[in-house]
Amino acid sequence: MNKTSSDIILTILYDNYTYNQELESDWGFACLIEGLEKTILFDTGTNGKTLLSNMEKMEKDPADVDIVVFSHIHQDHTGGMKMFLERNNKVKVYLPVSFPADFKKMIKDKGAEITEVSGPVEIIESVRTTGEMGVEIIEQSLIIDTEKGSIVITGCAHPGIADIVRKSAELSSGELLIAMGGFHLVRTGENEINEIIKIFKDLGIKYAAPTHCSGDKTLEIFRDSYGDHFVDLGVGRVLTLSEL
C-alpha cells in the first residue's frame, strides 16, 4: 500500500477527556480524519446531539464527511450515527460484518451505503482496517500509512491493545508512528501496563496517545514512559501529522 505524504489532520470530536473546554465531553469516542483523498469519521460517540454540536463548534461540516468507519457496536461508538445520517446520508459506512442486522438496516434505511468487513480491507489509498479482531467483543481498528510511519486509531481495543498494534505492524509497510484512541486498560494493573509499553517500544511505536477507556492511571504511566512523545488527546484536540 502506498504511503501518504499529506499533512493529515486528526480531530477528536467526541471523548470523555477534555482538551478544548468549549466543547462538551461525554463518555465515547469519535475522530475525524482530514487531508486524505476522502474525509473519514471514525466512530460517532454516544449522543448525536453532542457529536453534531462539537462538530459545529470545531467548524466541521457533517456534509464534508465521505466515509464512516465503526470500530465496534457499543453505544459509546455508534450512538451518534442516526442523527449524523440525518445531516449526511451520502456516506459510505465500513462496519464489522458481525454488527447486528437492525443497526445495518437503520443505516440502509437512511440511505447510506454499507461495506461489511471481516478481514483487513483497504478503504482508500493509504488507509485500511485491521479487519475483525477479538472473540467476545468484535472490533476493528484503523491504520493510516504515512511517509513518517503508520497511524493506528483504536476505538476501545477490546481485543487487546497489544494484539492490535502487533497486527497493525504486520499489515503496515513500515514503522508504527503513533497508536491513539481507547486502549481499554481501566482495570489493568501497573505491571501489565508496563508490559504493554514494552511491546509498544519493541515495535518501534514513536508516540502514544491513550484516551477514552484507557484510564487515568494508564495515561499517567504512558506519559511517564513516553515523555515528550506522549500525546494528550481529549475532545477538541487537533493533531496534525506535521507535529509528529
Q: Where are the domains of the chain?
A: 9-232
List, in sequence order, every residue forming a beta bridge with 179; answer none if it has no partner. 152, 208
- CA distances to 4, 18, 49, 232 from 210, rounded to whole Å, are 24, 13, 25, 8
Q: Which CATH number fits domain 9-232: 3.60.15.10, 2.40.30.10, 3.40.50.720, 1.20.1600.10?
A: 3.60.15.10
Which letter does DSSP use for residue 175 in this model? -
Question: Which stretches within 27-80 are classed as H helix?
Answer: 48-57, 75-78
Smallest CA-to-CA distance from 46 within 85, 80, 23, 69 is with: 80
Q: How far apart are CA 50 and CA 149, in angstroms?
A: 32
Please report, in tens digits, the pLDDT of each residue of the chain (244 residues total).
Answer: 788 877 999 999 999 999 999 999 999 999 999 999 999 999 999 999 999 999 999 999 999 999 999 999 999 999 999 999 999 999 999 999 999 999 999 999 999 999 999 999 999 999 999 999 999 999 999 999 999 999 999 999 999 999 999 999 999 977 999 999 999 999 999 999 999 999 999 999 999 999 999 999 999 999 999 999 999 999 999 999 999 9
3-state secondary structure of 216: helix
Q: What share of the chain is helix, strand, coil (3-state, %, to 5)?
A: 30, 30, 40
Q: And the C-alpha cell for 5?
A: 505524504
pTM over 0.95: yes
* Exposed e or buried b per residue across 58-70, where buried means at least 16 C-beta atoms within 10 angstroms of its C-beta: bebebeebbbbbb
